[in-house]
A and B are shown apart, each in its own frame.
Chain A
């Protein structure tokens, strides 16, 4: 595994239409990975708690998770994906480097957090999360 340098870990941000889904998935992934939440944060719903996607919450979570080794963002659907893409394409608000990872939200989150906790760099974390698509259940 390629290690992120300086003992800094890749941060993970989980973007969902729902605050509960984002936050619970973050806790689930941290719990299964056996690391404190500090590595992964949810950015779900609108600031008032209703369903939707908030650019503000995504940026805030990404900055909070940024230790200097980059931030991997996973998203559920539709506006969550489009908002992250737009942030990456247009803005300078996300920490550098930041990347939208093409992965299923829950399975990808677990793989990403485990890999990031082990010191993997952004490429390695992204690859681990993306690989979650190939894990068949039947």
Chain B
């Protein structure tokens, strides 16, 4: 809906931000993201269930909490060595523990994104944005949903678009876009999932899946601000294990 703000053709020019140095996001960042997501889901579980009781089967909060607590536990034992591995581990855990449709959907999102990040020890924000796009496209394909169907995609598409518009840098913009996207599901009629059986009666309720998707995006922004700048962004290259081509 409403005109897409395409970020002029310019954009890519200087990039700035130490893009010459080591990419800034490491496995610890991704683990922090997943933990922040688990916190957010735990905090909002009742609300997710309440939204789900209006147009679904009242299990979204409980399912998501079970899944993300399992992720938290798994990553608490040992954080995998690479960003890609963190997301793949988390995704696998969600598929095996959630028990509802959000398990395979969020699981696919994280696993595909993780796979797209490959085995690099650190990744750039731009790479993260690209990987999320890959994951979200896989979710769309799995569920057969498109924008406006009143699903998690209505939060995820705007979020990844906002992220891409900022060259992957602006997690806050992604969070705002996701939250707005979730709110904008209220007047929509559900065309996928159990809520679609309600037809017009699904109108007037915020979609639980879009709401939890916005939590996941918000957690990304939280993980970002939670960083103590332990050497300033410009980190005087503490010789990053010489991992030459971390493409």
Q: State the A residues within 8 Å of B (CB).
A: 46, 50-56, 77-79, 82-83, 85-87, 89-90
Contact = CB atoms under 8 A, between A and B. Distances in A.
B164 to A, nearest CB: 25
Contacts of B107: 86
A5 to B, nearest CB: 33
B142 to A, nearest CB: 6
Interface residues of A: mostly helix, strand, loop or mixed?
helix
Shortest Cβ-Cβ A-B pairs, 8 listed: A52-B99, A79-B101, A86-B104, A82-B104, A55-B96, A78-B101, A79-B100, A83-B104
A84 B218 CA distance: 29
Contacts of B57: 51
Contacts of B143: 82
Contact of B194 (A46, A50, A78, A86): A78
B48 to A, nearest CB: 16
A134 to B, nearest CB: 22
A72 B108 CA distance: 22
Interface of B: 57, 59, 63, 95-96, 99-105, 107-108, 111, 142-143, 193-194
Nearest to B88: A90
A46 B104 contact: no
Given A78-B101, A82-B142, 11 more contacts: A51-B57, A52-B99, A52-B100, A54-B96, A54-B99, A79-B100, A79-B101, A82-B104, A83-B104, A85-B104, A86-B142
B101 A82 contact: yes
Contacts of A89: 108, 142
Contacts of B142: 82, 85-86, 89
Interface residues of B: mostly helix, strand, loop or mixed?
helix
Contacts of A77: 194
Contacts of B194: 77-78
Contacts of A54: 96, 99
Contacts of A78: 100-101, 193-194
A55 B103 CA distance: 10
A86 B103 CA distance: 10
A129 to B, nearest CB: 20
Nearest to B193: A78
Nearest to A53: B99
Contacts of A85: 104, 142
Given A82-B142, A85-B142, A52 B59 contact: yes
B96 A79 contact: no
Contacts of B59: 51-52
B108 A90 contact: yes
Contacts of A82: 101, 103-105, 142-143
Contacts of A46: 99
Nearest to A50: B99
A96 to B, nearest CB: 19
A120 to B, nearest CB: 29
B101 A56 contact: no
Nearest to A54: B99
30 contacts: A46-B99, A51-B57, A51-B59, A52-B59, A52-B99, A53-B99, A53-B100, A53-B103, A54-B99, A55-B95, A55-B96, A55-B103, A77-B194, A78-B100, A78-B194, A79-B99, A79-B100, A82-B105, A82-B143, A83-B95, A83-B103, A85-B104, A85-B142, A86-B142, A87-B95, A89-B108, A89-B142, A90-B95, A90-B108, A90-B111
